[in-house]
A and B are shown apart, each in its own frame.
Chain A
């Protein structure tokens, strides 16, 4: 249930941004990498339940996007998708992860604000 903490942290940061813009946040995309210990459903549930505590965010439409994991393999630099099915090994040469190039994100994108609040 650490998603509750993460949700509160996120809402606090978004409030700060809204305050500097003196505006209400109307919509925002939240991008969650697959290779993070953040569960989308849990985060969504937490934000739905917490956003009323944040007056500048309570009208906001939160949209969520999962970013799939992609990595280069250790032996041959093959681009592959590490997953449970093949024990995170490269599906072409069976070697492990050299570097994850996508899937560790936790970003916001496209925040949209209303006109200035009074």
Chain B
């Protein structure tokens, strides 16, 4: 939760998150906190964007255990750091700050993708200083997901619906999904993408590049 000047920041995490935001701004990093259920397509989407975006990227991968996603990102030769949260269902600002101290390559990245632990509830309570909170869900998850996780969808800056190539095979009403998102968050920018057939990826890359230009160029 970004700083609210006349309220005491109750949550020590928010205080650290606000400090991180200043560091990102000094470095000229555009930072995305990518939140979605397990298997919603977060890693695959990040991979597609890295290949497409034409900016320097870096990735923080969070999982309770293992480093499968980090191994995938490594093949693309971009800086990547794994955080294993072990018993915790979310990333916190302290863990991200540690990555920044440890790996100086992150300072030079123009876009930083933070893939949060697969979970649609808890991560939204922990501000990581990100500029954009991104919610990812797929057509195989069901069009009612926004209404089931209203807080996360309400707070999101971008909502990305993934696996559009599977639309013919599943019972998913795309218009209804958009409506449900807009009910909770009329300002959210929504994207339909498929990493398999690479649809929507260009448009999303351009939106992020534009955001980067607006902020730092």
Contact = CB atoms under 8 A, between A and B. Distances in A.
A13 B95 CA distance: 19
Given A5-B88, A37-B125, A88-B150, A12 B12 contact: yes
B68 to A, nearest CB: 23
A2 B154 contact: no
A82 B182 CA distance: 13
Contact of A13 (B12, B122, B125): B12
B154 A97 contact: yes
Interface string A76-118: 0000001010011100000111101000001110000000000
Contacts of B183: 87-89, 95-97
A107 B154 CA distance: 20
A74 B90 contact: no
B66 interface: no
Nearest to B90: A2
A35 B155 CA distance: 10
A108 B8 CA distance: 9
Interface string B79-91: 0000000001110
A13 B11 CA distance: 7
Contact of B184 (A36, A38, A97, A106): A97
Interface residues of A, number: 26
B13 A37 contact: no
Given A5-B88, A38-B125, A96-B184, A13 B10 contact: yes
B2 interface: no
Interface string A38-77: 1000000000000000000000000000000000001000
A96 B13 contact: no
A8 B202 CA distance: 43
A19 interface: no
Contacts of A1: 89
A108 B10 contact: yes
Interface in B166-212: 180, 182-186
A37 B151 contact: yes
A26 B207 CA distance: 51
A36 B12 contact: no
